[in-house]
Amino acid sequence: MSRLNVVLAVMLLLSCFWLIRSSNDARHLFVDLEKAQSQSHELQIEYDRLQVDKRAQATPLRVEKLARDKLHMSVNTPAVTHYVTGASAPAAVVDTAAASSGGEAP
């Protein structure tokens, strides 16, 4: 009978150690989950802020200003006509407003 008591006591101690370890692991996993959720929330806030910045940068007036300043683009008007004479020849630009007023084309 004393052997059975010793075996049962050892099994009881082993099960207690296993329970303590699994409880500790569960606590660590819960802490890691909370950290991951917090980081996810911060990343979502950063993503929303970047989306607002992107929308602010892509307004039509800002795009038009950048096209004029950096790319030296201009608004297409009937006063400027582009003629393409051939595949290898560069396009000729004629200012019809200046030509009709007697001025020379640039």
Number of structural domains found in the chain: 2
Same domain, 16 and 56: yes
The mean-pLDDT minimum among 20-24, 64-68, 75-79, 97-101 falls in: 97-101
Please say if the pLDDT value at position 106 is more than 50.
Answer: no
Same domain, 12 and 63: yes
Same domain, 32 and 18: yes
Which stretch of 46-50, 79-83, 87-91 has the lowest confidence by average pLDDT?
87-91
Mean pLDDT within 90-104: 52
CA-CA-CA-CA torsion sign (69, 72, 74, 79): positive
